[in-house]
Amino acid sequence: MSIGQYPQFLRYWIGDTASAWWGNAFQVALYWTLATHVHGAQELGWLSFWSTAPVLGGGPIVARLFLRFGVRPVMVADFCVRAGVYGALAVWLTGHGVGHGWFIDAASAAWGLTFIANASGGPSLWPRLIPDKGLPLAMKLEQTGWNISAVGGSITGGLLAMAVPLSVLALIAGGIFLVAGLNLAALPLRPHGVPSSSESEHSVVRPWSLVRADVRLWGPLIVFWLSNLGSGDLTVVEPVMVHDWHAPAFFYGLLGALGALMGTVGAWFWPSRRSARPILTRLFLMETVAGLAIIGYWVGVSHPVVAFVGIIVSTGLAGGTSVMVMQLRFEALPEGIRPVVLAHIRTVLQAAGPIGALAAGQWLGHHKLGPAIGAAVLLSVVPSMGLLVTRTGRDGSSTARTIG
């Protein structure tokens, strides 16, 4: 099956990936600039916190907006808001630089408030952009798009951080987000898809009741929330670690690009492998191994090659588990309520990262790297092992076997 057969979906995917690419490029350049400053780790921790913590409030708001205005208008508004924020940040950086961090934190909070619109709205548009038989391809392409944007964005940001002012990068990112929003607004949609919902129907949609009732939703949710907490920890650890190696910004970008590249390989390789194990059991096993691989970071504080091996194993497995989780969600959620429930689920998942980043930033302001990396390992491994030992995967085995 070729994605070229579905030009509407391809246009959407290119716009979404391009905007994420330049968003990542700007973030890498910004994080590197802050990491090389005094108190860089603490500033990084607070920046990571403010960039996604507001999603806790934004997610439920977006869910209601989906019901009131529809999925696409809210996503287009999100692109336009972020374009405006990047433009304002470009003006601020031109006049003040990074010395006054409060405006950068405020801009990051604005991104975080609306971020969940595209993160949860995109999958809800797929049935209107691609036939049902193409949905497995769409799931892999979403994960691939995230990883491509991380690979390209990391390298782009690492290179440009050495030569181009942050204000210019912010201006470019703002322009691309605006174009992506206009592209989405002009896309022709298939007539069938997510049914329209009225505001009064919101009272009968109880997302967390649905999540608690299905192990395919709550099992991976627990594991990925704690795993994202560990990933937020590493968001602060990585630029500090590379700086301690006395390496240039490009090396930090290369490190992120390698991880994203292996995530793409894992997204296409692991879900397609045949296995007699239920998909939930495979998820917990893969996430446990991915967490243990983070030990490579720990040793890699003084041996960079070992850190690279840890990244390859960890991100390769994590990319596959992400696609498997999307398969489980699509099976478990009826199409009519999918955007609302996904908005709540992804809100909770996104909230974990900034908490881990803030904790790591405060820790590294006064202590060494080792314990911060150890915390990421424990957070990634313990929940996976706990759920695997209790054999929750058996509860969903009959359905899971059909979609694995």
pLDDT in tens, 240-264: 777 777 777 777 777 777 777 777 7
pLDDT at 400 over 70: no
Query: Alpha-carbon distance 335 to 193, whole Å?
Result: 8
The top-scoring range by mean pLDDT among 97-101, 157-161, 352-356 is: 157-161
CB 38 within 8 A of CB 226: no
> Has residue 319 been placed in a domain?
yes
Decide which of 139 and 165 is more confident.
Answer: 165
> Has residue 136 been placed in a domain?
yes
pTM above 0.75, yes or no: no
> Has residue 43 been placed in a domain?
yes
CB 32 within 8 A of CB 157: yes
> Has residue 193 been placed in a domain?
no
Total count of residues recorded for the chain:
404
pLDDT digits (tens, 9 = 90+) for 63-76: 888 888 888 999 99
Residue 323 belongs to what domain range? 3-188+207-403
Q: What is the pLDDT of residue 394?
A: 46
> Has residue 202 been placed in a domain?
no
Q: Which band of pLDDT confidence, cut at 50, 70 and 90, is reported for residue 399?
A: very low
Q: What is the pLDDT of residue 212?
A: 76
Least confident of 219-223, 272-276, 313-317: 272-276
Q: What is the pLDDT of residue 195?
A: 44
Q: Which band of pLDDT confidence, cut at 50, 70 and 90, is reported for residue 396?
A: very low
**Where residue 306 sits, what CATH number does that domain have?**
1.20.1250.20
Q: What is the pLDDT of residue 173?
A: 92
Query: Alpha-carbon distance 99 to 110, whole Å?
Result: 20
> Has residue 155 been placed in a domain?
yes
Least confident of 199-203, 216-220, 307-311: 199-203
Q: Which band of pLDDT confidence, cut at 50, 70 and 90, is reported for residue 41?
A: low
Decide which of 163 and 373 is more confident.
Answer: 163
- In this prediction, residues 253-276 reach a mean pLDDT of 74
- CA of residue 186 relative to chain centroid, distance: 26
> Has residue 101 been placed in a domain?
yes
Specify the number of domains making up the chain: 1
Q: What is the pLDDT of residue 171?
A: 93
Map tokens 């650890």 to a residue: 237
Return the H-helix or E-strand segment holding 255: helix 249-269
Q: What is the pLDDT of residue 310?
A: 77
Query: Alpha-carbon distance 152 to 272, whole Å?
Result: 25
- In this prediction, residues 7-35 reach a mean pLDDT of 87
User: Which pair of structure tokens corresponds to residue 174?
Assistant: 């703002």
Query: Alpha-carbon distance 155 to 124, whole Å?
Result: 31
> Has residue 196 been placed in a domain?
no
Q: What is the pLDDT of residue 184?
A: 93
Q: What is the pLDDT of residue 389?
A: 62
CB 60 within 8 A of CB 344: yes
pLDDT at 159 over 80: yes
Q: What is the pLDDT of residue 24?
A: 86
